[in-house]
Chain A
Amino acid sequence: MTLSRRTTMQWMMTAALLPLARWSPADATPAGSGTAVAFDRVADWPSVPPAAPAKGYGRDPNLMEPKVPWPLTFSSGQRGVVDMLGDMILPADAVSPGAGALGVGAFIDEWISAPYPIQQADRQKILAGLGWLDAQASVLHGKPFAAITVQQRAAMLDVLSSAAPKASMTAPVAFMDTLRKLFVLGFYSLPEGKADMGYIGDTPSEGPYPGPSPEALAHFAKLIGAMGLTYAPV
C-alpha cells in the first residue's frame, strides 16, 4: 500500500465520520435516537476466516452479457438474517417494497464475495457482524438474532445506529454502517428504488435538452430569493 493510497483511505474514513458528528439532515432524525439503551455487556467481535481465492471478471469482460464469475458466500441462515435486516433498514411502505423482500440480500452476497479489496474489507465486517448479532442477541436474550422478538431486534438496531457509540461498540456500529451503505446502494439502483426517489432519467429524447421543469424553476427562484441571490441566465 502506497503512502498516498493510505492517505486516500484515511480521507475517505474521515469523510465518512465527520459529517455525522457535526450535523444530521432535517426531517431525518435517527430512529430511537436519544432513547437507545446502551448494552451493559458487549459480545466479543468474532474473527472471520479468510475468503477462498476467486477470480474477478478481468480487465476485458463481455459488457453485453454481464456475469458474476465468483462463488457466493452466505449460508441460507446468513442470507435469511440479511433479508430480515433489509426489511428493517429499508422497510416496505406505501411507496416501495422492503429491501429484503426485493432481494437486495443477493446483491450483498455478490458484493462481499467479490475478490476485490473494498469488497473483501466489507466481507470481514459483514460476516463478523452477522456472527456478532447472534452472539449479542444471546447475551441479551439467550437466543440468536432471528429468534428474538421484533421489539428486541429493533432495540438492537437502535443501539447500532447510535450517533455517538461507546468505544466497545465501534466495530458493531461500523458493521451496521457498512450494511446500511450496501442496502442503500443495492436498493436505490434498482427500478423500484429509483421510482421511490422519484428519479426521472435514462430516457432518450429528441431535440435539445429542455432543462429544468417550470415547477423546478419556480422552486429555484424562491430558494435563491430567500438567500438574497439573483440568477443571470448563461
Chain B
Amino acid sequence: MTPLAAAATESSYDVIIVGSGAAGGMAAFSLTKSGLRCLMLEAGRDYDPQAEVNMFAPESDAPLRGASTPDKPFGYFDATVGGGWQIDGEPYTMREGSDFRWYRPRMLGGRTNHWGRHVPRWGAYDFKPFSRDGLGVDWPIGYDDVAPFYDRVERMIGVNGGRLDLENHPDSPAGCLMPPPRPRVPEMLIKATAESLGIPVRSAHTAVLTRDMPDPVAPRKACFNATPCTRGCTIGAMFQTTTSFLPMAKATGRLTTITDAMVSRVTMATPGKAAGVEYVDRKTGQRHQVKARAVVLAAGTGETTRLLLNSGERGRGLANASGELGRNLTDSTGASFRAYVPALAGRPRYNEDGIGGQHIYIPFWLYGQQKRGELDFARGYHFEIGGRFGVPPAEVLPRAWGAALKTAVRNTSGSTIALTLRGEMIPNKDTFCEIDPVTKDRFGIPVLRFSFRWSQNEINQVAHGRRTAHAVFKRMNATILDPDLPPEQIMTAGGEIIHELGTARMGADPRSSVVDGYGRAWEVDNLVLMDGAVFASGAHKNPTLTILALALRASERLAKRIKTGAFA
C-alpha cells in the first residue's frame, strides 16, 4: 500500500472514494479513466484473489467439510474475509422487537468478492412505482435515463443471458449480452411445468463470462464450468472488482488505495462544501484527515448512511435537511421452497456444474392481474431455480441404516429442487437505521441501530409465492418438503438477503430526498453518493446492475463537473 504520507499531501487528489465494492470500483474505474486522481479508502484489508482464493480444493479439505459456521457463514472457502454477519469490535444494534442482519465483509472489493451474480435490468415500472400503485415514491429518473448505462455496464462487467420479452423486463440491445448456458435437467423440468401453468421461465442474466474478455491489464477468461463462484474466481469469469475495475484503475497511475482505512466522518470546508474525510487506521487506531475536490461515498448502504449521520450537525447528520437520511430502508423478501421429485430419482448422471448458479429463472409475470386489482400485494417477486446432483438433504433420506441407506442416497441424489423467492419490499415508517445513542465501535465511532418490520404487503407476497411454488411442485407430482407455517415465519429476517437499500434516497425535491438524480447531496455540492443508499425504491430485481449503472452515470457527471471547474 502507498504510505500514509502520500495520502496526507494536501489537495493531491481530485476525488476521495470511500469503498471498493461495486459502486466504489466503478467510480475508481470511470474517474481515473477520465484523468482524475483518486484516493480510495477501504475499511477492510487488502485482498488478492490470485493469492487467496482456493478455487479447486474439495470441501473435504476444509474444517467441517466446509460447512457454514459463525466465523464463515457461507462456508470455509467462501471469499468473504475479515467480517460477515458480525465483525469483532464493530457491532451494530437493533431496536427492541426488530431483527436485522447486516452483512459486512472487511476486504478490498467488498461484497463483489462474494455475491449472487444475478443481474436483471430494472424496468420502467421499477423507477416509477408511486405512479403505478400510489405507494412509496417515484425516482427522479426513469428507465430511459438508465438504459444507456445498463448497455455499457453489461458489456463492461460481462453478462450472459437471453431474451426476456416480458412486461417490465427490458431486453438488452444486440451486443450487450454473452450467450447463456444451456439449462440443466431439473431446470428444464421446472420450465416445462411452470409454463404449463402459465408461468414464464427465461434465461437468467448472470455476471459470469461465457466468452473471453481480453484486456491489456485485467484479461478475464470465459467460465470453465467448474468450482463454486462464491469462493472468488481467479480466472476472472465472475465479475468482482478485484479482478477487473480495481487493477484497471490502478494501471492508469491515478488511483491510490489505502486499505484498513475506516472512514469515520466527512469533514467540511464550508457549510455547503466537503473538505475530505477523516479515517481511522484499523491497524494502529490512528486518525488521519485527507482532502480532495470531491468526495464519493460508496461504502455500502448502511456504512454510507452511518458516515453521514456521524458527520455534520450532531444529532442530525450531514445532508439531512429532509430528515430522510436513514429512513426508507428496504431489503428483498426471501423464502425458499423445496420438493423431492420422484420422477428425477435415479436419473442419468452428467456434469451439472455449469456456470455455478442458476441458468434459468422465473421472472415476475403478474403485472396484468395486479393492475386489475386481483392480487393482495403490490409489486413483484421472482424465483431463482435450484436443483443439482449432490448429497441429498437429510429430509429426503429415510430413517434407515445399511444397504438401504446407501441405495437411498444413490437414488435421491439430484432429485430435490428448490424455488427461491426474492421480492420487493415497500418502505415503511418502522424500518430505518439511526445512530445508537450509546454504543460505539472499537475505534470510538458511534454505531448504527436498526429498526425493521415487514408489512402485510410482503407477508401476502410471500404467501402468494408459496402457493405458486407448491402448485408447480404438485404439477410434477413432487413431495413438498416445506413445513406448514404461517408466511411470516418462513420469511428471511430483514437484511438477510443483503439487498439493503434506500436510506439516502434520490428525488426531485430536496424536501423529501437526500440526493439528486445523480447522487449529489442536495446540501453538499461536492459530495456524491453512489451505492444502494440512493435507491428510491427496492424492486424485486437484484440491485447490483443498477448500482453499477447509477455509479457510472454519477461518475461521468462528477468528472464533467470537475473538469468544467465546478469545484475550482
Could you tell me if A220 and B410 are in contact, using CB atoms closer than 8 angstroms? no
B331-354 vs A: 1/0 string, CB under 8 Å? 000000000101111011111111
Which of A60, A107, A116, A162 has the most chain B CB atoms inside 10 A of its CB? A60
Q: Answer whether A4 and B404 are a contact pair too, CB < 8 Å, given A15-B481, A57-B71, A163-B399.
A: no
- Chain A positions 192 through 229: 1 when the CB is less than 8 Å from some CB of chain B, otherwise 0: 01001111111111101111110111011001101101
Query: Whole-angstrom distance between the alpha carbons of A43 and B110 in the complex?
Result: 54
In the complex, whether A79 has a CB less than 8 A from a CB of chain B is no
From known contacts A161-B400, A227-B343, infer whether A4 and B99 are also in contact, taking CB-CB under 8 Å.
yes
**Residues of A contacting B82 in the complex (Cβ-Cβ under 8 angstroms):** 59-60
Closest to A27 in B: B411
Cβ distance A117 to chain B, nearest Cβ, rounded Å: 7
Assess whether A167 is interfacial by the CB under 8 Å rule: no
A52 contacts B by Cβ under 8 Å: no
Contacts of A203 in B (CB 8 A): 226, 351, 353
In the assembled complex, the Cα of A59 lies from the Cα of B403 at a distance in Å of 40
Task: Please give the distance in Å from A178's CB to the nearest CB on chain B.
Answer: 10
Interface pair B64/A111, CB less than 8 Å apart: yes
A66 at the interface (CB under 8 A from B): yes
Is B196 located at the chain interface by the 8 A CB criterion? yes
Give A138 to B349 CA distance when docked, in angstroms: 46
Contact A180 B391 (CB under 8 A): no
Q: Which residues of A contact B227 (CB under 8 A)?
A: 202, 204
Report the stretch among B179-187, B363-371, B424-432 that lies at the interface: B179-187
Whether B71 lies near A61 (C-beta < 8 A) is yes
Q: Closest residue of chain B to A62, judged by CB?
A: B52
* B35 close to chain A: CB less than 8 A: no
Query: Cβ of A82 < 8 Å from any Cβ of B?
Result: no
Across the interface, do B69 and A198 meet the contact criterion of CB distance under 8 Å?
Answer: no
Contacts A180-B405, A212-B184; is A224 near B192 (CB within 8 Å)?
A: yes
**Contact A16 to B181, CB < 8 A, known contacts A59-B82, A180-B401, A226-B343:** no
Partner of B401, one of A89, A204, A215: A89
Determine which of A193, A202, A211 lies in contact with B226 in the assembled complex, contact meaning CB atoms within 8 Å: A202
Q: A114-B63, A191-B58, A234-B183 are in contact. Are A229 and B99 (CB under 8 A)?
A: no
Given the known interface contacts A14-B485, A234-B202, the answer about A219 and B398 at a Cβ–Cβ threshold of 8 Å is no
State the Cβ distance, B407 to closest chain A Cβ, in Å.
Answer: 6
Select the residue from A114, A117, A118, A231 with max chain B CB neighbours within 10 A: A231
Residue of B nearest to A217 (CB): B185
Q: Which of A67, A210, A211 has the most CB of B within 10 A?
A: A211
Within 8 A of A (CB), among B57-76: 57-65, 67, 69-72, 76
Q: Does A37 contact B (CB under 8 A)?
A: no
| A186 within 8 Å of B (CB atoms) | yes
Given contacts A11-B489, A61-B71, A230-B192, contact A29 B394 (CB under 8 A): no
Q: Using a CB-CB cutoff of 8 Å, which residues 492-523 of chain B contact chain A?
A: 493
A3 vs B98: C-alpha distance when bound (angstroms): 9
Q: Decide if B413 touches A197 in the complex (CB within 8 Å).
A: yes
Residue from A58, A66, A93 having most chain B Cβ neighbours under 10 A? A66
Q: Is B225 an interface residue (CB 8 A)?
A: yes
Interface centre among B61, B351, B411 (most CB of A within 10 A): B351
Q: How far does the Cβ of A145 sit from chain B's closest Cβ, in whole Å?
A: 14
A57 to B560, CA, bound (A): 48
Report Cα–Cα, A224/B403, bound state, in Å.
30
With A15-B482, A59-B84, A89-B405 as contacts: A231 and B398 at CB distance below 8 Å: no
Q: How far is the CB of A54 from chain B (nearest CB, A)?
A: 12
Cβ–Cβ contact A188 & B398, under 8 A: no
B567 at the interface (CB under 8 A from A): no
Q: Could you tell me which residues of chain B, from 389 to 419, have a CB within 8 Å of some CB in chain A?
A: 389-391, 394-413
> Taking the nearest CB of chain A, how far is it from the CB of B33, in angstroms?
31
Interface membership of B83, Cβ < 8 A: yes
A204 in contact with B226 (CB, 8 Å) = yes
- How close is A56's CB to chain B, nearest CB, in angstroms? 5
B539 within 8 A of A: no
Interface 1/0s, chain A 39-67, versus B by CB < 8 A?
Answer: 00000000000000000111111011011
> Given the complex, which residues of A lie within 8 Å of B401, measured CB to CB?
30-31, 88-89, 157, 161, 176, 180
State which of B351, B477, B493 has its C-beta within 8 Å of the C-beta of A4.
Answer: B493
With A28-B407, A61-B71, A220-B188 in contact, is A227–B476 under 8 Å at CB?
yes
Q: Is A181 engaged at the interface, CB distance under 8 Å to the other chain?
A: yes
Which single member of B57, B64, B193, B398 contacts A28 (CB below 8 Å)?
A: B398
Q: List A contacts of B344 (CB < 8 A).
A: 223
Chain A residue numbers with a CB within 8 Å of B542 are none
Contacts of B406 in A (CB 8 A): 90-91, 93, 95-96, 196
Q: How far is the CB of B228 from chain A (nearest CB, A)?
A: 10
Check B399 against A20 for contact (C-beta < 8 Å).
yes
Residue of A nearest to B342 (CB): A26
Most-contacted residue by chain A among B182, B201, B340, B484 (CB, 10 A): B182
Cβ–Cβ < 8 Å partners of B413 in chain A:
197-199
Chain B residues near A217: list those with CB within 8 A.
Answer: 185
Q: Is B471 an interface residue (CB 8 A)?
A: no
Is B195 located at the chain interface by the 8 A CB criterion?
Answer: yes
State A93–B347 Cα separation when bound (angstroms): 21
A142 CB to nearest chain B CB (Å): 24
Q: How many angstroms from the CA of A114 to the CA of B72 in the assembled complex?
A: 13
Q: For residue B228, which residue of chain A has the nearest CB?
A: A202
In the complex, the answer to whether B225 meets A29 with C-beta atoms within 8 Å is no
Q: Which residues of A contact B191 (CB under 8 A)?
A: 231-232, 234
Q: Which of B179, B192, B225 contacts A231 (CB 8 A)?
A: B192
At the interface, yes or no: B54 with Cβ under 8 Å from chain A? yes
Q: Is A116 a contact of B189 with CB atoms below 8 Å?
A: no
Contact A219 B348 (CB under 8 A): yes
Q: Are B193 and A59 in contact (CB under 8 A)?
A: no
Judge if B77 is at the interface, Cβ distance under 8 Å: yes
Give the nearest-CB partner of B339 in chain A.
A19
**0/1 string, A79-117, CB within 8 A of B gives 1:** 000000000111101011000000000010011001011
In this assembly, does A35 line the interface, its C-beta being within 8 Å of a C-beta of chain B? Answer: no
* Docked-complex contact B58 and A202, CB < 8 angstroms: yes
**Docked-complex contact B185 and A25, CB < 8 angstroms:** no
Chain B CB count within 10 A is highest, among A163, A196, A216, A226, for A216
Q: List 9 A-B contacts (CB under 8 A).
A: A19-B479, A64-B52, A188-B409, A200-B352, A209-B210, A209-B359, A212-B182, A220-B188, A234-B202
- Which B residues are within 8 Å of any A CB, using their own CB? 45, 51-54, 56-65, 67, 69-72, 76-77, 81-84, 87-88, 99, 162, 179-185, 188-189, 191-193, 195-196, 201-203, 210, 223-227, 231, 340, 342-345, 347-355, 359-360, 389-391, 394-413, 475-477, 479, 481-485, 489-490, 493
Starting from the known contacts A204-B227, A224-B192, 12 additional A-B residue pairs (CB-CB under 8 Å) come to: A2-B99, A28-B407, A29-B400, A59-B84, A67-B63, A90-B405, A161-B401, A199-B349, A209-B181, A209-B223, A212-B184, A232-B192
Task: Please name the 5 residue pairs, one residue from A and one from B, whose CB atoms are nearest each other, closest first.
Answer: A211-B182, A28-B408, A204-B224, A30-B400, A14-B483
